[in-house]
Chain A
Amino acid sequence: QKAAKTVDKYSLYVPKSGVFPKGFEVASLASGVKKNGNRDLGIILNTNKSRPSNAAAVFTTNRFKAAPVLVSRQVLDSGSGEGVNAIVVNSGCANAVTGELGMQDAQNVAGQVNTHIGKQNSTLVMSTGVIGQRLQMDKISKGINTLFDQKQFGSDFDSWLNLAKSICTTDTFPKLISSKFQLSNGTEYTLTGISKGAGMICPNMA
């Protein structure tokens, strides 16, 4: 048992390099929501202008859906998944079971990113952390402005890894994977994935 516990999961499962899809930039920072001063706010941004960006999602089937779940679903439904250019994620506070005020907070977070990228209804929002507490909007709002105003977006490995770190809660390692694939006509494309989660895990999303 002791041997198993001392396994260094970070060195086992966190990559040291990656390949990332064209036309995406990411940024993250510590807004101050997490008490330990770790990164807790991240944004992924589509910078490709050649075609509209499309989105899809699956959400919890829990009857008490958090505000960001409801807001993201509204965004996808209203545009039928078309024209989504950003995802903003915060950790440390789930903005769940926060009622009308929580809905307004989630809408304001998405709206603030929409304003920065100059497109309405273009941002999905995600939150994770403690249930039953309101978002600290002052910190998150300031953090979003800092990421855009100080042009902190990048597409290098460290930027992606830091984004993966920014969505962690009790995770012992950030979860980032990437791969290149080939279509039958020889065209190469890339998938990059980030996830978080360690506990409260038995999803049944639809």
Chain B
Amino acid sequence: TLLGFIVTDLPIKASALQTMLTAAANRSFNCISVDGDMSTNDTICMLANGAVDNSVIDEASPDFEQVKSQVTEFAKQLAQLVVRDGEGATKFVTVNVKNSANFKDARIIAETISNSMLVKSALYGQDANWGRILCAIGYSKLENLASLDESKINVSFIATDNSSPRELKLISNGVPQFDIDERRASEILALPDLEILVDMGTGSEECQFWTCDLSHEYVTINGDYRS
């Protein structure tokens, strides 16, 4: 179960606070996955008590967008900690789907990759199994193919430790890279933090999802949670 709260001493009108939190959650807590399961209790609350001497912020206030953006970035940090914990997780993985025709499709694809048990198992085993990533993209429940053109898609692993080459191309314009540098792939997959970059090449919208690997420990923890 995900529970959380964010509290602030700013005075914020209740309706503006709800708008802010909903927007923040949609780009943070609603973009994480450890195991693909949705709880009966997931809740994120926000309280604004107005202890700071400032005019009340509503949707028309000049500061509204700035505060909304700050709350969103803050919420991302808090959400990412949940993924870093994961149950038995050894890797923190950013799935970045960019240049999609629309945000909704980018989100669906990012979520599908993030929830794939086989992708997550491969990440745990440090196996550069790009086929599973492409497979997940292919069965994503998109309403149509506006964002998905097989001839334009690019998939890469991105190193997060400043080593080079930073990007390891797995699929280039729809063509699998059969001569992939396995040594470099292993180096990137051995990192505790890494990124899977999917460039749809069909637009300009993007969505980041945060997930983790699936380890033996996950089964151990969840095999006797109730008893």
Contacts and interface: CB of A to CB of B under 8 A. Distances in A.
A202 B43 contact: no
B218 interface: yes
A115 B53 CA distance: 29
Contact of A54 (B29, B48, B66, B221): B48
B204 interface: no
B119 interface: no
Interface residues of A, number: 81
Given A44-B5, A194-B4, A21 B43 contact: no
B35 interface: yes
| Size band of the interface chain B makes with A | 35 or more
Nearest to A189: B10
Contacts of B35: 199-202
A187 B3 contact: no
A51 to B, nearest CB: 4
A57 B44 CA distance: 6
A198 B197 CA distance: 24
Contacts of A80: 14-15
Given A21-B51, A58-B21, A195 B82 contact: yes
Task: Give chain B's interface secondary structure class.
Answer: mixed
A89 interface: yes
Interface in B172-225: 192, 215, 217-218, 221-222, 225
Interface string A62-78: 10111011001000000
Contact of A65 (B37, B40, B75, B218): B40
Q: Which has the most chain B C-beta neighbours within 10 Å: A52, A94, A128?
A: A128
B83 interface: yes
B152 to A, nearest CB: 28
A58 B31 CA distance: 14
Nearest to B56: A51
Interface in A156-205: 167, 169-173, 175, 177, 179, 181, 183-185, 187-205
B63 interface: yes
Contacts of B81: 13, 175, 177, 195
B138 interface: no
A140 B45 CA distance: 21
B123 to A, nearest CB: 11
Nearest to A124: B45
Q: Which has the most chain A C-beta neighbours within 10 Å: B14, B25, B50?
A: B14
Interface of B: 1-15, 17-18, 20-22, 25, 29-30, 32-54, 56, 62-63, 66-67, 70-71, 74-75, 77-79, 81-87, 90-91, 111, 115, 124, 192, 215, 217-218, 221-222, 225-226
Closest 5 interchain pairs by CB? A81-B14, A195-B4, A23-B51, A51-B50, A4-B90
